Chain A
Amino acid sequence: MKKCVMSLLAVMAVAGTAASAETLRWSSSGDALTFDPHSEVDASTRAINGIMYERLISRDVALNLIGGLATSWEPVEGENAWLLKLREGVKFHEGQDFTAEDVVFSINRTQAPTSAYIKLMSSIETVEVINDYEVKLVTKDPNPILPAQLTSIMIMDSDWSEENGVVEPQNFQTKEETYAVRHANGTGPFKLVSRAPDEQTIMARNEDWWGWGDHPGNIDTLEFRPIANAATRVASLLSGELDFVLDPPLQDIKRIDGAEGLEIQTVPEVRTIFFGMKQSPEPLKSSNVKDKNPFADVRVRLAVNHALDLKAIQRVVMDGNSFPTGMLTSPNVLGSTPELDAPYGFDPEKSKELMAEAGYADGFSVQLDCPNDRYLNDEKICQAAVSMLARIGIDVTLEATPKNIHFTKVNDKDTDFFLIGWGVPTLDSQYPMEYLLDVGGRANAAEYNNPEVNAKIAQISKEMDPETRLNLIHDVWEIARADAPYAPVHHQVISWAMVSDLDLPIAADNTPRFEFAVKNAN
């Protein structure tokens, strides 16, 4: 009996001190939905998979393109193709060698019907193996932004995928969980140790990672514990249970920054939040105006823009942590200018005049669809907009739903008035334009359709001359500003909260780069 107690105590002692200096405990609101790197585009999934899996081309902290599994890339003269040289001597976590085969396999995998990156990779015609460490990506048309697009694509091992039956991304028709959902075999700086979804995921340093020579990271173990409730997340940080919180709630930032041993890092994010208004001619299904669509009138859309007091939203809802804007994409993105970025301006009187001119002096009613767990204070932004629009006579019913339901509505274009945010992984205007302004664009739930804009976007996607291309981009944004298909709110700011003795560089893509993380440096 005594012996038993002793050994129990020993277990307790060992487990109690297990949190050594090189363990980094971190949290965010959402867990990765799956470890399959090609079946979800969800931000949490990407951030967490990105610790274990690597891309051919990645971005440094300043978001410049840098070599990942590829060391160089250049367009092939006279062909619609890019030539990539691959890094040699790289091994996957389970020991397989990384070669050109794996690149071919991974890119093909992203083009499978169940892939979430099928649209992004649609420009690639074939992937040709030159030798073990050289591949040629042949595109259907000239594709100037292929290297930027490749920063989204993580590389899997072809043999491992075949052995485990995950040659295609998870497919729900089989009604079974695939091996890749809970197992990961990448080339990245950390490898998976254990996984309990929504509870805890533990990763360990991959000592064989090719990059340790020029990355200072000293973390041995990464413990990730998603905590959905924001207040609990902050409480856990304040009480010392966590070293790093990826998404501290805005209202707590001041307090965290003031707390001893904790600090906040901030950087403007490449993500813009805006309202969309359905402007197709048929009447809105949620409005009391049954014979026509009020949003089809540009004056109403401008009235909405002038009715939003963006400064009040910035100060009260966001606690100062945002940049009000009049544009759909952030200043870091190629094509943004200070003039385009300037807000439309808060002017309720002008809004009322515009409403009256459009024949809606008495207002109208409409339903606003809003996510409640996707963007910083998303539901609160919508609530604020409801009261601002009420003052110019628009009676808004707010429907706030979790993101999966909200985005089903947006993707089905089954919404009259909605809030979304758009990030730009390519840092190029073509990306938001294709999704938001082009007719038939996947997130163009506003059903904006301007033939001139459509034509120019098509030109932009093929134009290889940078200057001509940039002019076209500016043209499109100017037309869009006048047409006001959306009501921009602000660019988000990323804030990370961490203990003071942790060194972790913040980046505008909101992706923690743990290979740089240094804890207890002195």
Chain B
Amino acid sequence: MRYLFGRLMQVGLVMIVVSFVSFSMFNFVGDPLSSLLPEDATAADADRMRDALGLNDSVMTQYGRFMANAVQGNFGISYRLKQPVTELIASRLPATLELVAVSAVIAIVVGVTAGVFCGIRPKSWASKTILSSSLAGVSLPTFVMGIALIYIFAVTLKWLPSSGRGGTVDLGVWKTSLLTVDGWRSILLPAITLSLFQTTMILRLVRAEMLEVMRADYIKFARARGLTDRAINFGHALRNTLVPVTTVIGMNIGGLIAFSVITETVFQWPGTGLMFIQAVGFVDIPVMAAYLLFVAGLFVLISLTVDLLYFLIDPRIRLS
């Protein structure tokens, strides 16, 4: 329990630090007035706006106001798109989450399958090929992979679209592209690109765990008892690798969200990552600040969940 309490304190601290950072961006970065005022504004206009925006108040007052607004989900209006930032993020979020989810599924299915295979048959040439190409996979930057896929599958072969989400279906609060053929065709290339790095990671991890488990005594006993290979491989070995693999996968969802910034840019996928990169280019500070807070919150939430899972799965932690 003390451990949990400590984690919660830590989470609170992170959010306070991040919120201060994003607040200072809001207030001390550049001059918000220059982006807000019309081109032919006078000095008097500038003064009036400074007053209206509360830029003449003390820093602490301003921070308090910022936090009060942030807690209510109000991050102001995007300098570029002139819309409430919160709404922007909300409208872009489904695209990112769907991309991340599909990538995660690809990474897990491909990674675990290949990892198990390499773990069971470490000596076969197929395992060696898979392993060598996995190091190449780590060395292949996401954007190079994306460009190559677009060049091959979209432009040369014309099998799959190169950008956007394809057809979307509006389910009220959630606009999904997973209910149309077009949507699935569109998500394939970006999802594969995004999953590459995580796939190699899961593959190597599962393989290492499998190798380790296969050497364990209970597997030897199982073999001695004359159980089939199938029962041993999947009933015992794979099952025992699942705990560490699950936690690592949990942690890696964060990695997928981070790399979605790059993937979304390459494929012009209309998610939060693309929005963030465009905001950085335009120095659209409200969007940058909100994204910073949002992502920090998301990561903290993920790592907290993973910790809790670990706590529940592995009784030894509760004792220590």
Chains A and B are bound partners: yes
Contact residues of A with B, CB < 8 Å?
8, 11-12, 15-16, 18, 33-34, 113-114, 116, 118-119, 170, 172-173, 175-177, 181-182, 196-200, 225, 227-229, 232-233, 235-236, 238-241, 402, 404-405, 407-408, 411, 442
**Distance between Cα atoms of A108 and B83 in the complex (Å):** 25
Q: Does B315 count as interface, using CB distance less than 8 angstroms?
A: no
Q: Does B313 count as interface, using CB distance less than 8 angstroms?
A: no
Residue of A nearest to B179 (CB): A11
Known: A33-B80, A113-B38. 9 other contacts (CB 8 A): A12-B179, A16-B181, A34-B82, A119-B40, A229-B163, A229-B268, A233-B163, A239-B158, A408-B39
Out of B35, B88, B163, name the residue touching A227 (CB < 8 Å).
B163
Residues of the A chain whose Cβ atoms lie less than 8 Å from the Cβ of B161: 236, 239, 241
Residue of A nearest to B164 (CB): A225
Please judge, given known A-B contacts A232-B163, A235-B150, whether A181 and B82 are in contact too, CB under 8 Å.
yes
Verify A227–B281 contact, CB threshold 8 A. no
**Distance between Cα atoms of A43 and B270 in the complex (Å):** 22
Verify B179–A177 contact, CB threshold 8 A. no
Verify A402–B281 contact, CB threshold 8 A. yes
Verify A227–B268 contact, CB threshold 8 A. yes
- Among B118-162, those with CB < 8 Å from A are 150, 154-155, 158, 160-162
Q: Does B283 count as interface, using CB distance less than 8 angstroms?
A: yes
Verify A196–B270 contact, CB threshold 8 A. yes
Verify B167–A198 contact, CB threshold 8 A. no
Residues of the B chain whose Cβ atoms lie less than 8 Å from the Cβ of A227: 163-164, 268
Verify A404–B76 contact, CB threshold 8 A. no
Out of A173, A197, A199, A200, name the residue touching B52 (CB < 8 Å).
A173
Residues of the B chain whose Cβ atoms lie less than 8 Å from the Cβ of A199: 91-92, 270
Q: Does B68 count as interface, using CB distance less than 8 angstroms?
A: no
Please judge, given known A-B contacts A12-B181, A15-B169, A402-B282, whether A198 and B38 are in contact too, CB under 8 Å.
no
- Distance of B85 from chain A, by nearest CB (Å): 10
Verify B39–A235 contact, CB threshold 8 A. no
Residue of B nearest to A241 (CB): B161
Please judge, given known A-B contacts A15-B169, A114-B38, A411-B39, whether A239 and B179 are in contact too, CB under 8 Å.
no
Out of A15, A239, A405, name the residue touching B182 (CB < 8 Å).
A15
Residue of A nearest to B159 (CB): A239
Residues of the A chain whose Cβ atoms lie less than 8 Å from the Cβ of B34: 408
- Among B253-287, those with CB < 8 Å from A are 265-268, 270, 275, 278, 281-283
Q: Does B180 count as interface, using CB distance less than 8 angstroms?
A: yes
Q: Does B250 count as interface, using CB distance less than 8 angstroms?
A: no
**Distance between Cα atoms of A172 and B53 in the complex (Å):** 10
Please judge, given known A-B contacts A16-B167, A411-B39, A442-B39, whether A173 and B278 are in contact too, CB under 8 Å.
no
**Distance between Cα atoms of A34 and B80 in the complex (Å):** 10
Verify B158–A240 contact, CB threshold 8 A. yes
Residue of A nearest to B41 (CB): A113
Out of A177, A198, A404, name the residue touching B275 (CB < 8 Å).
A198
Out of A16, A170, A228, A232, name the residue touching B162 (CB < 8 Å).
A232
List 6 A-B pairs, Cβ < 8 Å.
A33-B82, A177-B77, A198-B278, A232-B150, A239-B161, A402-B282
Cβ contacts B168-187/A at 8 Å (1 or 0 each): 11000001000111110000
Contact residues of B with A, CB < 8 Å?
34-40, 48-49, 52-53, 76-77, 80-84, 88, 91-92, 150, 154-155, 158, 160-164, 167-169, 175, 179-183, 265-268, 270, 275, 278, 281-283
**Distance between Cα atoms of A408 and B283 in the complex (Å):** 13
Residue of B nearest to A115 (CB): B38
Verify A228–B278 contact, CB threshold 8 A. yes
**Distance between Cα atoms of A287 and B197 in the complex (Å):** 48
Out of B81, B162, B283, name the residue touching A236 (CB < 8 Å).
B162
Verify B164–A16 contact, CB threshold 8 A. no
**Distance between Cα atoms of A229 and B34 in the complex (Å):** 27
Residues of the A chain whose Cβ atoms lie less than 8 Å from the Cβ of B180: 11-12, 15-16
Verify B283–A198 contact, CB threshold 8 A. no
- Distance of B69 from chain A, by nearest CB (Å): 10
In this complex, the member of B35, B84, B270 whose beta carbon has the largest number of chain A beta carbons within 10 angstroms is B270
Verify B179–A15 contact, CB threshold 8 A. yes
Verify B83–A18 contact, CB threshold 8 A. no
**Distance between Cα atoms of A119 and B180 in the complex (Å):** 49
The 3 closest A-B pairs by CB, nearest first: A235-B162, A15-B180, A199-B270
Residue of B nearest to A178 (CB): B82
Residues of the B chain whose Cβ atoms lie less than 8 Å from the Cβ of A241: 161-164
Residues of the B chain whose Cβ atoms lie less than 8 Å from the Cβ of A240: 158
- Distance of B283 from chain A, by nearest CB (Å): 7
- Distance of B46 from chain A, by nearest CB (Å): 11
- Distance of B298 from chain A, by nearest CB (Å): 21
**Distance between Cα atoms of A192 and B270 in the complex (Å):** 20
Verify A232–B52 contact, CB threshold 8 A. no
Please judge, given known A-B contacts A15-B167, A239-B162, whether A198 and B265 are in contact too, CB under 8 Å.
no
Please judge, given known A-B contacts A11-B179, A182-B83, A402-B281, whether A175 and B265 are in contact too, CB under 8 Å.
no
**Distance between Cα atoms of A176 and B36 in the complex (Å):** 12
Out of B36, B155, B181, B268, name the residue touching A228 (CB < 8 Å).
B268
Verify A177–B38 contact, CB threshold 8 A. no
